[in-house]
Amino acid sequence: MSIEFFTSLTSGVGPVVLPPLIKFGCWRSEGPFRAGRWLTSYLVHPLGTRTNQRGNYLLKTVNRDLSEERQQAAIDRLARRVLLHDSVSHRCIPPVLDAELDAIPFFIVEPFVAGEALSKVNWSCVERGSLSRRLWIARQIAEAIHTTHHRGQVHLGLSPHKILVDEGGHVTILGWASSQRFGQPCLLPRETLADVMARAPETFATDYRAQPAADVYSLGMVLYWLFSGAWPVPIGTKLKPNPGNKKEQASANFWEQELAKIAMAQQTLMPSPHPLANGRTPGSLQHLILRMLEKNAVARPTVGSILDQLVAIEIDHLHEAGC
């Protein structure tokens, strides 16, 4: 299979002139939507459709300028995403609609999901910032992670940057290319600050094997952010969430030095309880989140237990939602 460029479609009433398009298998696009270090995303339509609207599907393809080793690593990421789709189905996890991983261009296709990253949501809006809305968002995330754990999969990349929330409060969880089966050895991605800021302490070990407790820690980081707007561990770093092409961050030595700072902070600094004690977060929820952030993985609750407690807290505060 190859990438093809074309400028028209033929219908029963004659040719329809279109802007220059890019063809990936049975999908077409008018150009890149987002470019990353490993993958480039395109908004696409199925071939044969006639529309002036932007694509309703998101195609992710491996960058052609990668070294052979990095290209294989990128293909492996897409393959893990496909394997997750084959074993887990949940409304907060986008399905994989098509995939080509055996020949150039290597790609997968998912529905395009609108929403705002949890890390960027403006909670000043009364409705958006209400306790009931945040509890519902927390429960949706926990339900999705609980489902993946039930199927023997671990996300291993959960962070506020990888959770989308739409206007109605519905959650979509992204970043599944880092997912692994329980017990699998894995060297997790370290390309951006978002990859490492919410990582569990034990995942920085070179001999780490995927375990659900790591998702519990990351979920604790997400919920801490959701209910306080702050990070539980003060991490001093010069890294930016989206490094782009900045020369200082292109330096492998610079990155490794900053990564070491983050790893050390995650492994040694205890989460501060003060941002959570803001008068808006129930005490039982504060206690639950801090338990999720235990440095000792064995001391953390399971996601099933977390979900039960979130539901109980949600019920206890139904009056705040006008119920």
The lowest-confidence range among 18-22, 82-86, 109-113, 303-307 is 18-22
Confidence class of residue 42 from pLDDT cuts 50, 70 and 90? very high
Q: What is the mean pLDDT of residues 273-283?
A: 87
Residue type, 75: I
pLDDT at 52: 66
Per the listing, tokens 């309703």 go with: 56
* CA dihedral sign, ordered 153, 157, 159, 165: negative
Q: For residue 158, which of 169, 170, 168, 146 has the smallest C-alpha distance?
A: 146
Alpha-carbon distance 21 to 2, whole Å? 14
Report the run of H or E that residue 286 belongs to, with start and end.
Answer: helix 283-292
> 116-321 maps to which CATH number?
1.10.510.10
| Beta carbons of 180 and 80 less than 8 angstroms apart | yes
Residue 248, classed as helix, strand or coil, is helix
Q: How high does pLDDT run on average in the chain?
A: 83
pLDDT digits (tens, 9 = 90+) for 211-265: 999 999 999 999 999 998 888 876 655 444 444 444 444 566 777 777 777 778 8
Residue type, 276: L
89 has pLDDT over 90: yes
* CA dihedral sign, ordered 199, 193, 162, 106: negative
Take residue 40 and report the two structure tokens written for it.
Answer: 């480039």
7 has pLDDT over 60: no
Residue type, 70: R
> 3-111 maps to which CATH number?
3.30.200.20
Q: What is the mean pLDDT of residues 36-49?
A: 88
Confidence class of residue 297 from pLDDT cuts 50, 70 and 90? very high
pLDDT at 242: 44
pLDDT at 123: 64
Which residues of the chain are in CATH 3.30.200.20 domains? Answer: 3-111
| Beta carbons of 26 and 36 less than 8 angstroms apart | no
Confidence class of residue 8 from pLDDT cuts 50, 70 and 90? very low
| Beta carbons of 78 and 107 less than 8 angstroms apart | yes
pLDDT digits (tens, 9 = 90+) for 113-169: 989 999 888 765 545 568 899 999 999 999 999 999 999 999 998 999 899 999 889
27 has pLDDT over 70: yes
103 has pLDDT over 60: yes
Which residues of the chain are in CATH 1.10.510.10 domains? Answer: 116-321
CB under 8 A, 24+ apart: contacts of 13-19: 16/50
